[in-house]
Amino acid sequence: MKLSTLPSLLLLALFMAIGLTACGSIESAAQDDCTSIGWRIGSPGYNDCYKARVYERKLDYSLPPGDRPSPSVI
């Protein structure tokens, strides 16, 4: 392996690690929301709360209807 490709591989690995840590953020935030108001994990009320919070957060992070994503600056 060339020495010049090593920094680019490390940068790629760093971006992948950051991307993978963000994957569970909506679900973990929804779980935190429901447990913070007193629901116990596994109860029927918790499951309803969790599904609703995940749905709400996905709506918050989605683009408005008809809006197209803009090109990245990177």
Which pLDDT belongs to residue 59?
A: 87
Residue pair 46/34 in contact (Cβ under 8 Å)? The answer is: yes
8 is a domain residue: no
Q: Would you state the pLDDT for residue 33? A: 92
Query: In this structure, how many other beta carbons lie within 10 angstroms of the beta carbon of residue 49?
Result: 19
Residue 36 lies in a domain: yes
pLDDT, tens digit, 9 for 90 and up, residues 5-64: 666 666 666 555 555 555 568 899 999 999 999 999 989 899 999 999 999 998 888 877
The full length of the chain comes to 74
Using a CB cutoff of 8 Å and minimum separation of 24, what contacts does 58-61 make? Answer: 58/26, 61/26
Distance from C-alpha of 63 to C-alpha of 61, rounded to nearest angstrom: 7
Q: Which domain holds residue 54?
A: 24-62
Would you say residue 71 lies in a domain?
no
pLDDT at 35: 94
Q: Is residue 32 part of a domain?
A: yes
pLDDT at 66: 72
How many independent structural domains does the chain possess? 1
